[in-house]
Amino acid sequence: AEDTRLGRRVAAKVFALTMDANGARPPFSPEEWRRRFIQEARMLASFDHPHIVPVVALDALQDGRPAIFMQAMSGSLRREIGTDVFDPDKQADLPEGVRPRSATPARTRQVLLEVLSALMAVHGKGIVHRDVKPRNLLLANGPGSRVKLVDFGMAKAPAETPAAEPFW
């Protein structure tokens, strides 16, 4: 997205309830998902850490859906290392760009130290992320760059807040 007021790119995460690939409905009510979405924004905004993606704003779209605006990132670790497929026959069927790729020992060490640094900050506040995976590790400036943890939608806070009232 484009922040026209500041003239910069931002990432927008918009509240939308969808069915999963099997057509199953979400396990919570729409109100509970909305509460969790707003809690995610507040949780992320509580951090000022070099390896946690910063929240720029929490606002509502014209249709009333809440949206979290974050620093724009240029990629994810998943794009850097490819899809997690171990069967060689299945790997051969994948397009070249998404086949699993190895990282150098130096890059692996960098990623691990940065992710662990972020998780130390998260756990220091009593929060458990519960969804750490390459797709939720964004890259600040493309492959080989600094890693930032994102997507606190499934995170467990020490004291879950009651249902959030609309803030707009």
Distances (CA, A) of 88 to 99, 119, 129, 133: 10, 33, 32, 22
Each residue of 59-88: pLDDT tens digit?
988 998 899 999 998 888 887 887 766 667
Q: Which residues pair with 77 in a beta bridge?
A: none
Q: Is 131 a catalytic site residue? A: yes
* pLDDT(163) > 50: no
The reported pLDDT for the residue numbered 157 is 86
Does the pLDDT at position 123 exceed 90? yes
Q: What is the pTM for the complete model shown? A: 0.78
Q: How far is residue 51 CA from its own chain's centroid?
A: 12
**pLDDT band at residue 109 under the 50/70/90 scheme:** very high
User: 48, 89, 131, 151: which one is catalytic?
Assistant: 131
How confident is residue 11, by pLDDT bands cut at 50, 70 and 90? very high
For the segment 49-59, the average pLDDT, to the nearest whole number, is 94
Q: Dig out the tokens for 93 from the structure.
A: 């069927």
pLDDT in tens, 18-34: 766 676 666 778 888 88
Q: Residue 9: which of 140, 111, 167 has the closest Cα? A: 140
